[in-house]
Amino acid sequence: MGRRKRQETSFNESKRIDLLELDIDIRLRSLWETAEGITDWNLEVAAAFMRSAYGLGYCDALMEPEPGQLTETHGYRTPDPHDTPPYVEEPDHLHN
C-alpha cells in the first residue's frame, strides 16, 4: 500500500470515528447539558454518568428500526448477539 493510500485510509478512518462520536454525542445531549452544570465532579458522579450513558445507549439500541443500525451506518461490523461480551469471563470448566 502506497503512502498516499495509507494517508487516505487513515483520514477516512479518522473521519468515520469523528462522525460516530458526533452521532453518540447528539444522543447523549441531555447528559452533556446536565454535566455542564456540575461543579463538584468525583468518582461517584462520574460513575452515575457512565451508568446513565450506558442505559441510554441500551435503550437507543432497542429502539433502532434494524438491529445494529448505528454501527452499520458508520461502517462498523455489528457484533453477533451470540458472541460472549468481552467483559464477561467464561468459567474455567468451559476451557477443559
pLDDT tens track for 17-52: 899 899 999 989 999 999 999 999 999 999 999 999
The total of structural domains in the chain comes to 1
Helices and strands (H, E) in the chain, number of each type? 4, 0
DSSP state of 73: H
Decide if 85 is inside a domain. Answer: no
What residues make up the domain containing 51?
3-72
40-83: per-residue pLDDT in tens?
999 999 999 999 999 999 998 899 898 888 888 888 888 777 77
The answer to whether position 77 is within a domain reads no
Cα–Cα distance, 79 to 57 (Å, whole number): 15
pLDDT on residue 43: 96
CA separation for the pair 27, 89 (Å, rounded)? 30
Question: What pLDDT sits at residue 49?
Answer: 93
